[in-house]
Amino acid sequence: MKFHILLTLFLVLFVSFLSSSNCYTFYVDWVLHPKEKYNDWAGKMRFQVNDTIIFKYEKGSDSVLLVQKDDYDKCERKQPLMEMNNGSSEFKYPHSGPFYFISGKEGHCQKGQKMITVVMAVRHGTPSIHPPTAPSPKHHGPVTPGPAHSPYHHGPVAKPPTGSSPVPALAPGPIAKPPTGSSPVPALAPGPIAKPPTALTPGPAQSPYHHGPISNPPTASSPAPYPGPALSPTHHGPSPSP
C-alpha cells in the first residue's frame, strides 16, 4: 500500500516537473501605440498553462487590468478581476482559456491598448500508450462472383480413369454371342452398367444430365465382347447401329 502511495506521489511530482520545465516567459512593452497590434502579436504565440507574461511600462503612468470579456469589449475599468501597477506586472496563467487585459489609464483602452491571450490545454509529458485507432471503413463495393457451376450438379463427380490408374472391370452380366457374317448385329443384353470409380476429392464439372458411360456395340470383325476399361464419363455415346 505504501509503495502505491509513494509511486503516485512520484508520478505527480514528475509531471509537475515536466510542466514547469517547459514553461515560458513572455514580455510585453505596455504602451499606447505599439509597433505591432497586441492581438496580432498574441495570435502568433502559443500560451500554455503556467507560462508567465510580464508587462513592462513606466510605474505610475499606467497599469494593467485583468477583466471579463464584457468589460474588455466596453473598456470598463471599474470592476477588474486583477489590477497590476508596479511597472513590471507579472501574471502566471493558472488554467487554459482566454484572458483579457486592458490599460488602466483613462482613454487608452479605447485607443487600442488592450489584448486577448488564449492559453492552450495542459501539456502531457508522456503520450498515450494505446492510442485509439480509426475503425475500418465498411466495404460496399461489388462482390467478386465465384466460378460458375454446371446446372443440376449434385455433389462430387468421379474423375475419368487415367492410363496408370487401375481400371475397374465391368459388372458380370449376359454377354452377346459373336455375330455371324450375314446375321445382324445383336443388341447387348440388358445388364448392370459399371459405375465410375468414386473419389473423395471433387473433379471437374460434368455436362448436365450425365448418366455414366455406355459400352460400344461389337462390330462384325471383332471378337466377342469382354470386360474392358470403362469409357471416360464425358457424354452420351452414339446408339448401336442395327
Each residue's pLDDT tens digit, 131-190: 455 555 554 555 555 554 444 444 454 454 454 444 444 444 444 454 444 444 444 444
Instruction: Label residue 14 by pLDDT band (50, 70, 90).
Output: low
Q: What is the pLDDT of residues 116-128, one digit of tens each?
A: 999 998 755 544 4
Tell me the residue range of the domain where 28 lies: 24-119
The answer to whether residue 106 sits within a structural domain is yes
- Give the helix/strand (H/E) hosting 34: none
CATH number of the domain enclosing 37? 2.60.40.420
Supply the pLDDT for residue 45.
96
Q: Is residue 233 part of a domain?
A: no
Mean residue pLDDT across the chain: 68
**Do the beta carbons of residue 59 and residue 86 sit within 8 Å?**
yes
Residue 50 lies in a domain: yes
> Could you tell me if residue 220 is inside a domain?
no
Residue 222 CB contacts under 8 Å (≥ 6 apart), including other chains: none
- Asked whether residue 89 is assigned to any structural domain, the reply reads yes
Give the rounded percent of residues in the chain with a pLDDT score beyond 90. 40
pLDDT digits (tens, 9 = 90+) for 33-77: 999 999 999 999 999 999 999 999 999 999 999 999 999 999 999
- In this prediction, residue 121 carries a pLDDT of 83
Number of domains into which the chain is organized:
1
In a domain, 99, yes or no: yes
Q: Is residue 179 part of a domain?
A: no
- pLDDT of the residue at 133: 55
> Going by DSSP bridges, is the β-strand pair 97-103/64-67 parallel, antiparallel, or unpaired?
antiparallel
